[in-house]
Amino acid sequence: MLDTHAVARSLTAADFTPAQADALTDALRLVVEQGDHVTSDQFKAGLAEMRAEQRTEIAEVRTEIANLDTRLPTQLSTAETRLTWRMLGIAGLVIAALRLLG
């Protein structure tokens, strides 16, 4: 139960005007009465759930990174091979062109 009179007194003692203190106290009373606030236990349960979800997501990212680590050397090797063949092809064209010109 919220002691609205004590809240209003505290606010006016902190230099709120009586109208401001009443308005803020009424708003606070509505929040308490609606019961839409989260209890400490509910907050802790939600936090635990969020942490569990984060652990799962972190594990998934680690798995993806591990898969990249295994695929990347193969992909680099394939790219190096293609580049080498292209460079040999260009070198062959340059030699053929030099023979034609020379």
pLDDT the model gives residue 73: 78
Per-residue pLDDT of the chain (102 residues), as tens digits, is: 789 899 999 999 999 999 999 999 999 888 888 877 778 899 999 999 999 999 999 999 999 888 877 777 777 888 888 899 999 999 989 998 888 887
pLDDT the model gives residue 52: 94
pLDDT the model gives residue 15: 94
DSSP the chain: ---HHHHHHHHHHTT--HHHHHHHHHHHHHHHHHT-SPPHHHHHHHHHHHHHHHHHHHHHHHHHHHHHHHHHHHHHHHHHHHHHHHHHHHHHHHHHHHHHH-
Domain residues of the chain, as ranges?
1-37
pLDDT the model gives residue 67: 82
